[in-house]
Amino acid sequence: AELRKASKRLSCHKRYKIQKKIREHHRKVRKEAKKRGHKKPKKDPGVPSAAPFKEELLREAEQRKQRLEELKQKQKLNRQKEHEKKRKLEAKKNAAKIKEKAEGKESSGKSKGKTNKRLNKNSKKSFCRELNKVLEASDVVLEVLDARDPMGCRCPQLEQAVTCSGGNKKLLLVLNKIDLVPKDNVEKWLNYLKKEFPTVAFKSATMMKDKTVEQVTKRRARVDLSKTSQCFGSKCLLKLLQEYGKTQDKAIQVGVVGFPNVGKSSIINSLKGVRACNVGIARGVTKSVQIVHIDKQTKMLDSPSIIADPSNSALALALRSVIDTEEPGSADMLEGVDAIINHCSKQQVMMHYSMPDFRNPEEFLSLLAQKRGMLKKGGVPDIDNIAKLVLCDWTGGKMSYHSQPPGSQTPPPYLTEQKIAEMQEGFNLKNVEEENSNTVQALKYPSPASSIIFQSAGMTNGTIEETKVIEERSEWKNMGRTKEEEEEEEEDEEEEFTESDDEDDVEEEENEVKEATRKAKLGKQQTTPANSEEQVAGEPSTSLSFSLDKPAEEDDAYDFNTDYV
């Protein structure tokens, strides 16, 4: 049932009281006006008959008045033309937007030369370009993996590009977020991954503050919050990189790459000891290459995320933060939640969210929405927002889930025994194993019962080459200005200049009119002094056709005879 609007009816007592107050107010106003005395403006006498050259003055004033009207008319027409131009531009923009939405991609009419122009920082092509810069400039590449799904965080295209580059580049795997999975699972994954690439167990520092931030306590003692909270594995990784740098006899550049939300920037911040890079839950926080100096011999390169290929499974796209959670009513978002729930143990999901049995993912979302109080009008469950919440739980750094490593060790085709030996050359693997075991022993882990088991979808295909990227406007919003917007701004500036010029002309004409009326007034005073004596000082003298000078008392009064532009 629709809610009725509140009634505006008043009680008689209140209405009569209001009417009485109004009557009293009007009476008071009339009384004050009577005391003050209301002076009617005297009729303007115009130019006196005895004034010399009266006809010429009036003719000149009439001509100036016509010129003023012509200027105003011209200005009005110019404004109308500019408004029409703006409307046409807006219509073109709207038509282009509708066309793009219908096609789902950029119009094919763009020439190849335009692709060489400066790309927007939020575009996928820009991300690929920046990622390639990092890969080319790096001596060692750190591929960051989420310990909850290490296999799903590996990108075969990236690994193949590094191993087959032939420039003596090394690839290291960093198993991050090891505190979110059981201890046994971490050990299994370390044993599995170290057979292919050197692997370092890592737990990034959390609650990192900006290095410029300081907090003042009650005792006025300054506590510096720029220092990191405790992190694990940083000593092992730093030592490994420094030892490799000594073997190369030069300062090395270390590129940090990986899919969104695996903790690339957090690792750099942990190694540096302060918040040198921006971090966030949302994807795309790092948009370009950022260089951080760890010491004299080691330079870290933070890179944008790897772009996941749309051909991946729904589970891989959901866990790699590819699905746009900001778009309301997205079918991909619901599909991603369905894939996650279907690949998990149902009993563990029920225990984690403390909810009853459900038949399908849609029922799971509706029950969870009711439990969390996320309801629309009429008590309907808000499926879109609860699906967004579930996806953020699984891609964020709070949810504890884990996947089991494959039963048999089958390296990808590009990773031969020779390549594996090349990647491990120059690193002290025994020290790495010892440090990893120390890191694993020092951490606190969730119990296997509280961590949800799910089936990994395997390696996630990524797009490394810029030419293979397909832009999707719904996902990567264009933050840069379009050419049409720039043209519109230029036209606005031109319009402002033209209008200001016209207004200056109008003001000059009005000043000339005032000068003419002053001359007429002086002539009148010279010929008929008697009339000037009769005239009361301080009274306004305005002409019917044009405005004369007003006394200082009535400067602020609005003259309705003058048509202001």
CATH number, domain containing residue 318: 1.10.1580
Q: Is residue 71 part of a domain?
A: no
Please name the residue ranges forming H helices in 164-213: 183-193
The residue among 417, 438, 463 that closes a domain is 463
User: What is d(CA 424, CA 427) in angstroms, rounded to the nearest whole number?
Assistant: 6
382 and 325 share one domain? yes
334 and 239 share one domain? no
349 and 242 share one domain? no
Please name the residue ranges forming H helices in 146-233: 156-163, 183-193
**Strand partners of residue 253:** 299
Q: For residues 394 and 340, is the Cβ–Cβ distance under 8 A?
A: yes
User: What is d(CA 200, CA 517) in angstroms, rounded to the nearest whole number?
Assistant: 92
Provide the residue range defining the domain that includes 318: 314-395
The one-character DSSP state at 290 is E
Q: For residues 184 and 216, is the Cβ–Cβ distance under 8 A?
A: no
Q: Any residues with CB less than 8 A from the CB of 517 and at least 6 apart, and which?
A: 47, 61, 543, 546, 548, 549
Within 13 A of 334's CA, how many CA atoms are on the CB side?
A: 14
User: What is d(CA 67, CA 55) in angstroms, rounded to the nearest whole number?
Assistant: 18
**Strand partners of residue 453:** 402
197 and 287 share one domain? yes
Taking residue 171's Cβ as centre, other Cβ atoms within 10 Å add up to: 24
Q: Any residues with CB less than 8 A from the CB of 521 and at least 6 apart, and which?
A: 541, 548
First to last CA, the chain: 53
User: What is d(CA 509, CA 559) in angstroms, rounded to the nearest whole number?
Assistant: 18
408 and 434 share one domain? yes
347 and 251 share one domain? no
Q: Any residues with CB less than 8 A from the CB of 267 and at least 6 apart, and which?
A: 142, 144, 174, 176, 202, 204, 237, 256
Helix (H) or strand (E) holding 146: strand 140-146
Asked whether the whole model's pTM tops 0.85, one would answer no
User: At CA 333, angle to CA 327 and CA 335, rounded to 5?
Assistant: 150
286 and 409 share one domain? yes
338 and 378 share one domain? yes
* Distance, C-alpha 136 to centroid of its chain: 29
184 and 278 share one domain? yes
Count of domains forming the chain: 2
Encoded tokens for 133 = 């810069």
User: What is d(CA 52, CA 228) in angstroms, rounded to the nearest whole number?
Assistant: 91
Which pLDDT belongs to residue 26? Answer: 96
User: What is d(CA 192, CA 242) in angstroms, rounded to the nearest whole number?
Assistant: 25
User: What is d(CA 211, CA 174) in angstroms, rounded to the nearest whole number?
Assistant: 25
**Strand partners of residue 141:** 171, 255
240 and 278 share one domain? yes
User: What is d(CA 402, CA 400) in angstroms, rounded to the nearest whole number?
Assistant: 7
271 and 139 share one domain? yes
Which pLDDT belongs to residue 57? Answer: 84
Encoded tokens for 545 = 């056709």
Per-residue pLDDT of the chain (565 residues; tens, 9 = 90+): 567 888 888 999 999 999 999 999 999 999 998 888 766 667 767 778 888 888 888 888 899 999 999 999 999 999 999 999 999 999 988 888 888 888 775 555 454 444 444 445 557 777 788 888 888 888 899 999 988 889 888 898 888 888 888 778 888 899 988 888 898 989 989 998 888 888 999 888 775 444 433 443 344 444 343 334 678 888 888 888 888 888 888 888 899 998 888 888 888 888 888 777 777 666 667 767 888 888 888 888 888 888 888 888 888 888 876 665 555 556 778 888 888 888 888 888 888 888 888 888 888 899 999 988 888 888 898 888 888 888 888 887 777 888 888 888 778 888 888 888 888 888 888 888 888 888 888 888 888 888 888 888 888 888 777 666 665 443 444 433 444 444 544 454 444 434 444 445 545 555 555 565 555 544 544 444 444 444 434 444 443 344 434 444 444 454 555 544 4
237 and 165 share one domain? yes
Which pLDDT belongs to residue 15? Answer: 94
Q: Is residue 53 part of a domain?
A: no
Which pLDDT belongs to residue 245? Answer: 85
